[in-house]
Structure 1
Amino acid sequence: MTDRPLPSDTQARLRPGPIATIFAGALLLAAAWQWSNVLLLGFGAILIAIALRGGASLLNRRFGLSFKPGVLLCALAAILVIAGIVAWAGPSISGQFRQLIGSLPRAWEQVEGWLSSSSFGQFLERRMENASQGGGSGPTGSIPSVFGYLTGTLTTVFGSVANLVLLVTVAIFLALDAPMYRGGALRLVPQSYRARAGRIADELARALGRWMGGQALDMVLVALVTGLGLWLLGVPLALVLGLIAGLTNIIPVVGPFMSGIPAVLFALTQGFDLAIYVALLFVVVQQLEGNLLMPLIQRFAADLPPALTVLAILAFGSLFGFAGIVLATPLLLVSIILVKRVYVEDILGDRQDD
């Protein structure tokens, strides 16, 4: 019995090339998932490197300084500014932050007292007790988990010195030799698509640079306005609460709640009326930021759909934790550009003028 050769289409299906490609893709996805923390750190380093290159570019245009000395000068200036702020206001902020954390239990006790003395609060307590009896762990008189989450988040952000040093170091190396790293990455792309990939990479860098510039301006203004408003209201921790408001404003939708809740609770220890005024202050600041400041910034930066922004926060936060929440907006920006340029225009062939 002689073996007949397989049909040509069957041979094509059995060729090892497609199977190897699928296997390599699956292996890369598994590795990316396993090293997601490293990739997120690398993405954060890229953002900082883009900012350093932007500062170096400004120095090059104004003073003729070459890029590498400009990058080092920008990095040194940023480190000196941060160190100066820490040396000048660090002890005050540290003391105020400890006072803030220490005041939260007493603030929560006042909230519980108000709840137990009002009909609406009694209704909520009965509902929570029913939920606890149904299989959950009800309130035990301690601070809710949201404050534990907030404390853990801030401790992670401000206490991970080693990760911060590593992040800044990688960012400086990337900024110093950005053309080399860009060229090395493009060599992994087929030659027929390399020029297109280079243009997309440049577009991503410009979009991320504009987003960071706009976001930095937004955070600074929110911190200043919130801190000034709290100081005018007579809130003792205006400095640290304004700083928290500015830092958490990098997270759309969720950030204002992360900064507003502890501010209102701390103001509650000074009086119920003050807590109401603080809550109104945060509402007014966020309304001005969302309806006046952010639209002006988005004209210069990136205009992201609000619904997709919220979904990106939920998706990246569930996948990567707090780091995913912080980087959700720039990750969404990168995803939108890649989908538009690679999938819509190159694969589907739907090219439209921007």
Structure 2
Amino acid sequence: MTEPQTPETKPRVPLATILTVFALILVLAAVWKWSPMLLMAFGAILIAIALRGGGALLHRWLGIGLKTGIMITALVAILAGAAVIAYAGPAISTQFRELMRSLPQAWEQVTNWLNNSSAGQFIERQMANAQQNAGARPSAQSLPSVFGYVTGTISTVFGKIANLALMITVAIFLALDAQTYRGGGLRLVPLSYRTRAAEICDEIGRALGRWMAGQALDMAVVALATFLGLWLLGVPLALVLGIIAGLTNIIPVVGPFISGVPAVLFALTQGVDLAVYVAILYIVIQQLEGNLLMPLIQRFAADLPPAMTVLAILAFGSLFGFSGVILATPLLLVSIILVKRVYVEDVLGDRKDD
């Protein structure tokens, strides 16, 4: 039998391990404390990648310098945004206010249907039983939380214009001198790992660039298809509803519901038949987007597991709010690459092909 260890023979935890754990705790605390700033920085990096992509295209097509191409890309994007705001902004603002005014009327029609139809009364009883402890009942004066979420989201977006301008400014600087910032970050990595870190960094940049290109195409197609479909159906607010559908499509799974529910309720104010047609339109567009367009885009961009995407939305949304929901997919993409390259391949030594 082995002798029991005395206090003098017990293994001691190395000082380096203690310092490493302490440093890791400090880093995690700093990340949590500065998460809004870090999310802004991540958004600026995404915009910078897009600007460099546009500059690279102009460099190849026109032979101009890369930095000149980046500045032209940024200028065109800013001017295009200003033109949309100047010429379409008043119409969109008017339509949006009309949409917000119509939603209470639409919800009142829904509650009237709940009160007057046998199926609706059954649903209402179930909702009342579920909310009995809270003492709440559906009413025309109390819209569902989804509407508060949508309006709060849009108010937040418009309330952070200054942060958006700052993020775009940082993105332009990053895009113009990306190699300097990349090199500075890599100098923080030990020499023995620096080459590997550079490879992973470049892979992340390429993956994010492909994802943004694919996502932009997907959002544009959904916005255009929704606008044309609603316009053909005679829905008055086709423009703003199409824009909302395109913008919210950046959020997988949840986005179509955020845009579809207000559209159906607004159409309900014009008639039940129109509401049914609008619901069918949104379902058809999302089915085509999910089963035809997105798989084609994912072959070029990034094929992310749907279950992990939903979990990422829930996780990053609970941690960072709406900004985390918007950036959940690219954050998941970066996390998958880091886990695969750093942990699976480098730590575990599993370098088998996917």
Partner of 2:116: 117
Residues 90 and 220 of structure 1: CA distance in aligned 2, closer, same or farther (over 3 Å): same
The whole-number CA distance in structure 2 between the counterparts of 1:267 and 1:135 is: 31
Partner of 1:139: 138
Return the offset for 1:135.
3.3
The whole-number CA distance in structure 1 between the counterparts of 2:286 and 2:44 is: 29
Return the offset for 1:103.
0.4
* More off after superposition, 318-327 vs 64-73: 64-73
The whole-number CA distance in structure 2 between the counterparts of 1:166 and 1:324 is: 18
Return the offset for 1:252.
0.5
The whole-number CA distance in structure 2 between the counterparts of 1:74 and 1:255 is: 28
Return the offset for 1:132.
3.0
The whole-number CA distance in structure 2 between the counterparts of 1:119 and 1:57 is: 62
Query: What SS is found at the alignment partner of 1:133?
Result: coil
Partner of 1:298: 298
Partner of 1:71: 70
Partner of 1:101: 100
| Structure 2 letter corresponding to 1:165 | A
Question: CA-atom RMSD, angstroms?
Answer: 1.6
The whole-number CA distance in structure 2 between the counterparts of 1:6 and 1:56 is: 65
The whole-number CA distance in structure 2 between the counterparts of 1:253 and 1:24 is: 38
Partner of 1:185: 185
Residues 140 and 267 of structure 1: CA distance in aligned 2, closer, same or farther (over 3 Å): closer
| Structure 1 unaligned residues grouped into runs of 5+ | none
The whole-number CA distance in structure 2 between the counterparts of 1:137 and 1:115 is: 15
The whole-number CA distance in structure 2 between the counterparts of 1:136 and 1:207 is: 49
Partner of 1:238: 238
The whole-number CA distance in structure 1 between the counterparts of 2:353 and 2:265 is: 51
Residues 66 and 273 of structure 1: CA distance in aligned 2, closer, same or farther (over 3 Å): same
| Structure 2 letter corresponding to 1:84 | A
Query: What SS is found at the alignment partner of 1:350?
Result: coil
The whole-number CA distance in structure 2 between the counterparts of 1:96 and 1:340 is: 47
Return the offset for 1:260.
0.3
Partner of 1:83: 82
Partner of 2:335: 335
- 8 Å CA contact 1:131–1:138 kept in 2: the answer is no
The whole-number CA distance in structure 1 between the counterparts of 2:41 and 2:300 is: 26
- 8 Å CA contact 2:108–2:139 kept in 1: the answer is no
Query: What SS is found at the alignment partner of 1:59?
Result: helix
The count of corresponding residues between Structure 1 and Structure 2 is: 348
Partner of 2:43: 44
Query: What SS is found at the alignment partner of 2:130?
Result: helix
| Structure 2 letter corresponding to 1:43 | F
Return the offset for 1:104.
0.4
Q: Identity, % of aligned pairs?
A: 71
* More off after superposition, 140-149 vs 284-293: 140-149
Deviation track 1:169-211 (CA, whole Å, cap 9, x = no partner) reads 1111111111011011111111100000000000000000000
- 8 Å CA contact 2:111–2:139 kept in 1: the answer is no
Return the offset for 1:136.
5.2
Query: What SS is found at the alignment partner of 1:349?
Result: coil
> How high is the TM-score relative to the length of structure 2?
0.95
> How high is the TM-score relative to the length of structure 1?
0.95
Return the offset for 1:138.
3.5
Return the offset for 1:127.
2.2
Q: Does 1:314 align with 2:317?
A: no
| Structure 2 letter corresponding to 1:54 | G
The whole-number CA distance in structure 2 between the counterparts of 1:315 and 1:154 is: 21
Deviation track 1:94-132 (CA, whole Å, cap 9, x = no partner) reads 000000000000000001111111112112222222233
Deviation track 1:111-165 (CA, whole Å, cap 9, x = no partner) reads 1111111112112222222233323544343211210111000111233111111
| Structure 2 letter corresponding to 1:79 | I
